[in-house]
Chain A
Amino acid sequence: MHLHKYEKIWLSFGFAALIIFLSVVGVSAFHQGHTPSGGLQKVDPDNLEATPPFDSPGVYEKEDGSYEVIAIAEAFGYTPTEIQVPAGEEVTFKVTSKDVTHSFSIVDTNVNMMVVPGKVNEKTHTFEDPGTYLIVCNEYCGSGHHFMSMEIEVVEQ
């Protein structure tokens, strides 16, 4: 099969760019730990009241000084209804759904988690700046989808 000289240059250039790009993404993901949210833990969506940690949603400080936020999404809101965390500390969000698929997305951050019933999604984030952040549901979940939101208070330590 005949390849034009310029086409060879064009494709080699493209291929090289591709390899470099994917290597950067791969190293950043697996070496520096910048993977998108995820997790393999499972729960019974019909029985969250009796399943730790979702039997008591809220904010918890852990022994190493980091924080954990346990939250449940349900049409059309979140439990707990108030969240307060300190700035500058690592916060791990663990979220699941009681009914349909939702999201837990904090505006102005990279926290953008799909919330799928039966599964627990996890994401760790450190808020640099104190303030009130808006959390919205960005996965269509029914007639009240565009009202599904809450606030998260990030306070100075």
Chain B
Amino acid sequence: MTAVSIPNPERKLALTNLGIAYTAFIIGTLCGLLQVFIRNDALQLPAWLDYYQILTAHGVLLALIFTTFFIFGFFQSGMSKTLGAFGPKVVLWNWIGLIITTIGTVMATVMIVIGEASVLYTFYAPMMANGFFYVGLALFVIGTWVQSFALVGHYRVWRKANKGEKSPLFAFMTVATIILWVIACLGVVATVLFQFIPWAFGWQDSINVGLSRSLFWYFGHPLVYFWLLPAYIAWYVIVPKLIGGKVFSDSLARLAFILFILFSIPVGFHHQLTEPGIASFWKFLQTVLTFMVIVPSLMTAFSLFAVFETRGRELGGKGLFGWFTKLPWKDVRFTSIFVAMLFFIPGGAGGIINASFQMNEVIHNTLWVVGHFHITVGTPVAMTFFGVTFWLVPYLTKRVFTRSLQRLAFLQIITWSIGMLLMSTAQHVLGLFGAPRRTAYTGYQHEDAQSWFEGIISNHVTMAVGGSILFLSATILVFIVIQLTWFAPKAESVNQEIFPIAVSESKETPKILENWKVWIGVAFVLIAIAYTVPIMDMIQHAPPGSKGFQTW
């Protein structure tokens, strides 16, 4: 396969998305660094800056902005690579979407910076931010929809031109992720447009708090799958190519993605297990649906390790684990993602605990949860994105990922792993003691609380050291990205980076798997079963609404 790059318009689009993603990343991680030092009283903030303002910025910049911009940059490159060059309309609408997303981002960020929106990235009512914060969020989502529809348009053109053929696995998975995203956002768009904006601008005096929370979490859980599925695309489609193998089973890969769409949406109540206003029956039903994602997760784990083992044996690995040593550990593009996968093992196990109905009471809103998402989105997803960055950026800029940059990349993933191990272990342990999340420095003037921070792992120093190593790692990464964008040597045709896409045998794959109407239909049936009765109840039997409060 020749390693020609994708056309210039797509390169520019993708690079713009990645550039904004990494700008958000470095500011967001700087906030993280400040947080760990404020939490242990080593840093006094000036009067105009507040812990919760920084924490809002951290959550928004990393969980929403870094992830989303990165994902669209990745999708745009991969869709052009696997389905062919974008037509002029696809390019135009992608730009329009990107610009709307960016305007929304800037608007929300400005509101956070001027202290008008210290409501954290979950913006729970009835805390009321400046109305333009919510307008920014709405624009952000709408912009991503425009980019999404542009990509789906490109896919439809391809399918018309290739009647009866199954689409390339990358494109299929991209479309699946987009479908998930669009359906998920319906909840947050509904609450922001019809509840928050009219209320924040004073057109309505009160808000139905319970309803807003459930609409948010209808979106909030699939949001995590919107982060995770692009990482899974890399695991399913990119990694096998990096190690010289092929996709284990095309049909199972597609089935897994469909199951992720079906079982990641009608489950938002698992974030509301300890709150009033939802009958236990509905909480439990959604808990059961939540656990169904274990099926596609096990399928994914099986496929990945099957690829590793098959390839390792092809390379001469013998015995039960001999294949393991044959994998290309010196290739940082592979090793980074492998480490990301390892972090997902405790991450997934922790998720099972969180979702376990009664057990949720032990950890809900404690620092355990913070530890949990740093070893799910903060490492498995983020580090997979780092691994993709190492080849995607030089692929797009036509530069060389030099030996010395590769060594730096190893240093980057090692430091990220160590930092995260320290920080997230401390957070998990503190959470089990009962230490609440989202708190500035505090001991509650109570010996129980003060003793939390005296453990070997749970003391203030561990988290601070972990956070510092993490920020160091973030700066190394951004340095690498800058080098790869502007300064690394120009690639010749012999050393031009490739876009690694593994072969996936789709002849046997059942056609029904790509019949989106069916799966979208099933998804809505499940959503209707899980949500209609409780949501109707929240609307019809609503308590008197709440006025807005600015408590920061």
Contact = CB atoms under 8 A, between A and B. Distances in A.
Nearest to B362: A110
B401 to A, nearest CB: 35
Contact of A114 (B276, B298, B433, B547): B276
A99 B283 contact: no
Interface string A104-129: 01011011111011111110000000
Interface string B298-329: 11001000100000000000000000000000
Interchain residue pairs A-B with the least CB separation, the first 7: A142-B551, A118-B543, A138-B436, A114-B275, A42-B543, A146-B442, A146-B439
B278 interface: yes
A46 B283 contact: no
A41 B543 CA distance: 9
Nearest to B551: A142
Given A36-B283, A100-B127, A140-B52, A108 B434 contact: yes
A134 B449 contact: yes
A114 B441 CA distance: 22
Interface string B421-441: 000000000000110111111
Nearest to A120: B276
A38 to B, nearest CB: 5
Interface of B: 50-52, 118, 120, 124-127, 209-210, 213, 249, 251-252, 255, 272-280, 283-284, 287-288, 291-292, 294-295, 298-299, 302, 306, 356-358, 360-362, 364-366, 433-434, 436-442, 444, 446, 448-449, 508-510, 541-547, 549, 551-552
Given A36-B358, A118-B209, A99 B52 contact: no
Contacts of B440: 145-146
B530 to A, nearest CB: 15
A121 B276 contact: yes
Contacts of A45: 543-544, 546
- Interface centre among B120, B278, B358, B449, by most chain A C-beta atoms within 10 angstroms, is B358
B210 A119 contact: yes
A151 interface: yes
Interface residues of A, number: 69
Interface stretch (A23-31, A56-64, A65-73, A80-88): A23-31
B277 A100 contact: no
A139 B272 CA distance: 12
B510 A18 contact: no
A154 interface: no
10 contacts: A1-B509, A4-B306, A10-B298, A36-B360, A100-B551, A105-B436, A107-B433, A113-B274, A138-B365, A138-B436
A22 interface: yes
Contacts of B448: 107-108, 133-134
Contact of A136 (B251, B292, B436): B436
Interface of A: 1-4, 6-7, 10-11, 14-15, 18, 21-22, 25-26, 28-30, 34-47, 75-76, 99-101, 103, 105, 107-108, 110-114, 116-122, 133-134, 136-147, 149, 151
Nearest to B294: A18
Given A18-B291, A103-B365, A110-B362, A26 B284 contact: yes
Given A43-B543, A120-B276, A34 B358 contact: yes
B453 to A, nearest CB: 13
A116 B277 contact: yes
Nearest to A151: B446
A119 B277 contact: yes
A71 B549 CA distance: 20
A149 B446 contact: yes
Contacts of A10: 298, 302
Given A43-B543, A113-B275, A147-B442, 5 more contacts: A1-B510, A10-B298, A18-B295, A42-B541, A142-B551
Contacts of A25: 287, 356-358
A99 B126 contact: yes
Nearest to A7: B302
A2 B509 CA distance: 9
Nearest to A42: B543
A116 B294 contact: no
Contacts of B298: 10-11, 14
A38 B209 contact: no
Given A114-B272, A116-B209, A35 B358 contact: yes
Contacts of A7: 252, 299, 302, 306
